[in-house]
Chains A and B, each alone.
Chain A
């Protein structure tokens, strides 16, 4: 592809021919380095059949480099077909100069942390705003029931409530089984097997039943809310609603939140019952505590206040899950990527918020002595 004539009277000459392109850059660079050093050198392109951008770039970049090193590199006999390419590359050469990266300074780091904290504050304020919006729209709907979207409410009750029953019941049943089994193994050495009933009853009724239900619903429903509202946001359906004087909060947020507030306590109750059934069955199989005895023990030994303590948390969890899900949906931008990001963020936020709230409830109940 190249012949070198080092002893030419006007300085060394490199004659290139054939096709020169992206894969020949190393060779071309070496050849050009070979003819450098003299005050004047020539690259002749007379025999060139095809030149690509990469090779043209290298020629021009080396020309510049050699000029700074004191060698004038002449690009001679450019065939007409290669001329526009070389000119186009030359015209855009400045753009090809890479800018240095800005290093991360402590001030930038501090700036980033500050922004994060401010964002977190704004996020909490945003959630409160949605809670306020919900309260306002709800009182509005109570005063003027005809403006309420009843069909949507029924639809969402089925979607978030009825359809979640199998998974919630199965989960609670298995938790009951596990508790009974573990409790039996731990209590048997002390001859205290019978207390397994209290263990199951208190832990399920007070904490696990509703907490695990809320976590499952957070995973299932918060993501569904975000995806549904978010995809409507993406397709500008929400904007269309506004121009048609339909309030998105009335049409989309209110029915979803009300449906959750209605169905989550019911789902919690389902979980409680099926957890107790699972526990009872396992106690029967593992410890020989008959279902009748389990029932007697349950009624006599367990304070009904535990059920209340458990279920009173349900509407609060419901509001948290619903608000987080709906808000994330409204935050979706116009790319599919942001929809995915907001959906997963909604699930994580909802589960985290549910657990934090549960911890706060525990402290509260401990303080008031329940």
Chain B
């Protein structure tokens, strides 16, 4: 059941270097359709660099990245745009355009669709804003007037504007208080189910991992050190992985009621 057709992302031999500093070397990673893949790793292991390489914000030094079976390295711009329309990216602080209201932000990707009249566009933007759990009157506010959690939700609404198949989330719960973070986890779980999303989730947050992820990929030593379910991770004998999943926070998150069986 995990044939090549089910792979939405397939990375082979990825290499990223900044001058003499090697971030990734011989990195392999697969992501299946419909799964939530959590990517964890210590600071500086290049989680965000990996995300940026996949979505085309950074040209990798070497290696092959396939998304929906298409090689993304050396692809021409129109083909890339066609594939990019099938994914959405949510940046850490939402990365909303500060000169636009929330609704206008969500409308930005919709403007690229031909034959969509302004009224429909507006209604679809409002629908997405409602779906990420923002109140209707937030649509007319500017990003600066919102709290961090609301900006993240709005960033998610913009990422979901075109009903993407894959969503990339960069540290979705960083900077949120625990209540806001678990609310975001719940929201993501509902959306994944309702929209049938595949999610590439970069995070530090163990609670988010336990609440959302089907599989986890650990970045260390410039490559993907281990992949598997959270239970598999507990058996990995690597010092960082042990410290991460067996540390006090890891144990606490494992005991929490929103464990992997909670979906």
> Which A positions have Cβ atoms within 8 angstroms of B?
21-23, 25-26, 52-54, 57-58, 61, 81, 84-85, 87-89, 92-99, 335, 337
Contacts and interface: CB of A to CB of B under 8 A. Distances in A.
Given A95-B130, A96-B124, A88 B194 contact: yes
B114 interface: yes
A112 B70 CA distance: 55
A92 B130 contact: yes
B114 A23 contact: yes
B131 A88 contact: yes
A315 to B, nearest CB: 38
B190 A88 contact: yes
Interface string B113-127: 111100110111011
Interface string B126-137: 111111000111
B162 interface: yes
Contact of A85 (B115, B126, B129, B196): B196
29 contacts: A21-B163, A22-B116, A22-B124, A25-B116, A53-B128, A53-B131, A53-B163, A53-B195, A54-B163, A57-B124, A61-B123, A84-B194, A85-B196, A88-B131, A88-B191, A88-B194, A92-B127, A92-B131, A93-B127, A95-B129, A96-B123, A96-B126, A96-B127, A98-B119, A98-B122, A99-B137, A99-B140, A335-B98, A335-B144
Contacts of B141: none
A58, A81, A84: residue with the most chain B Cβ atoms closer than 10 Å: A84
Interface in B34-56: none
Contacts of A25: 115-116, 120
Given A22-B113, A92-B131, A85 B124 contact: no
Nearest to B126: A96
B35 to A, nearest CB: 16
Nearest to B128: A53
Contact of B136 (A23, A26, A84, A95): A95
A113 to B, nearest CB: 23
Contacts of A95: 126-127, 129-131, 135-136
Nearest to B110: A22
A81 to B, nearest CB: 7
B163 A57 contact: no
Contacts of A22: 110, 113, 116, 124, 162-163
B196 A57 contact: no
B130 A337 contact: no
Nearest to B129: A95
A57 B127 contact: yes
Contacts of A335: 98, 144
Contacts of B126: 95-98
Chain B, interface SS category: helix
Chain A, interface SS category: helix
Interface string B193-223: 1111000000000000000000000000000
A138 B162 CA distance: 61
A26 B163 contact: no
Contacts of B123: 57, 61, 96-98
Contact of B113 (A23, A92, A93, A97): A23
B136 A99 contact: yes
Nearest to B127: A96
A57 B123 CA distance: 9
A85 B195 contact: yes
B123 to A, nearest CB: 5
B191 to A, nearest CB: 8
Nearest to A93: B127
Contacts of A61: 123
Contacts of B128: 53
Contacts of B120: 25, 54, 58
A94 B131 CA distance: 11
Contacts of A98: 119, 122-123, 126
Given A23-B114, A92-B127, A96-B127, 5 more contacts: A22-B124, A25-B116, A57-B123, A95-B129, A98-B119
Nearest to A83: B194
Nearest to B99: A337
B162 A81 contact: no
B105 to A, nearest CB: 15
Going nearest first, the 3 A-B pairs with the smallest beta carbon separation are A95-B130, A92-B130, A52-B163
Contacts of B119: 98
Contacts of A26: 115
A98 B121 CA distance: 11
Contacts of B130: 92-96
A158 to B, nearest CB: 34
A57 to B, nearest CB: 5
Nearest to A88: B194
B195 A88 contact: yes
Contacts of A88: 131, 190-191, 194-195
B115 A87 contact: no
A99 B137 CA distance: 9
Nearest to A338: B144
Contact of B194 (A87, A93, A94, A97): A87
Contacts of A99: 136-137, 140
Contacts of B191: 88
Interface in B134-188: 135-137, 140, 144, 160, 162-163
